Amino acid sequence: MELEGKAFPKLLVRPVVVVTTISKRGIANAAPFSFNSPISFEPALYGFSCNPAHDTWKNIRENGEFVVNVVGKDLGEQMHVLETDYPYEDNEIERAGLTEEKAKAVKPPRIKEAKAWIECKLEKDVELGDHIWIVGRVLAVGVKDEFWKEKGVIDVEKLLCHVAGEFFAVDMKEAKYKRAK
């Protein structure tokens, strides 16, 4: 079946991250993003694509820091709260009944209920199409033990992944593969 060009993200299952930022006055903001990707190992760089109208971008422009919170399926219900366009400086973390936790290397808080976190400092931003590609230099990374399988991979079954609109992947099996020799 042929689709129109802008339907292409629906063909890609993407982990949902919740990016936390703070305003100049230090009030926290949180929003889900699924247009996101690792970019480089050394230096460690991470990127996500943000609509320029989002408070997330306003805050990152203000102070250049953000936390990428990797969330599990248990936070699926909170996505519609976090994606609501509340007025600027209305704290979505509180609105969603989630908890702020102090980050290690940056001022924006982490979300305590997240499974893993990537703390970033703005490295570069590029206007691409109707979004801004925001690149962060990774300053600190952590994962909850129960989300970290013994071989050093995340627990895919617990990971919240976006497909399109209201659709999330619900039945992912554990990722098992062997490297080809």
Ligand X SMILES: Cc1cc2nc3c(=O)[nH]c(=O)nc-3n(C[C@H](O)[C@H](O)[C@H](O)COP(=O)(O)O)c2cc1C
Should residue 65 be labelled a site residue for ligand X when binding is judged by CB under 6 A?
A: no
Give the Cα separation of 49 and 36 in Å (integer): 6
Question: Residues binding ligand X: what is the number (CB under 6 A)?
Answer: 18
* Binding of residue 16 to ligand X (CB under 6 A): yes
x/- track of binding to ligand X for residues 147-166 (CB under 6 A) = ---------------x----
Per CB under 6 A, does 33 bind ligand X? Answer: yes
Which helix or strand (DSSP H or E) is residue 120 part of?
strand 116-128
The 3-class secondary structure across 53-107, one letter per residue, is CCHHHHHHHHHCEEEEEECEHHHHHHHHHHCCCCCCCCCHHHHCCCCEECCCCCC
34 binds ligand X (CB under 6 A): yes
Taking Cα atoms as reference points, which of 111, 129, 110, 160 lies closest to residue 49?
A: 129
CB nearer to ligand X: pick between 76 and 148: 76
83 binds ligand X (CB under 6 A): yes
Give the interface with ligand X as residue ranges (CB under 6 A): 16, 29, 31-35, 49-51, 54-56, 79, 83, 85, 131, 162
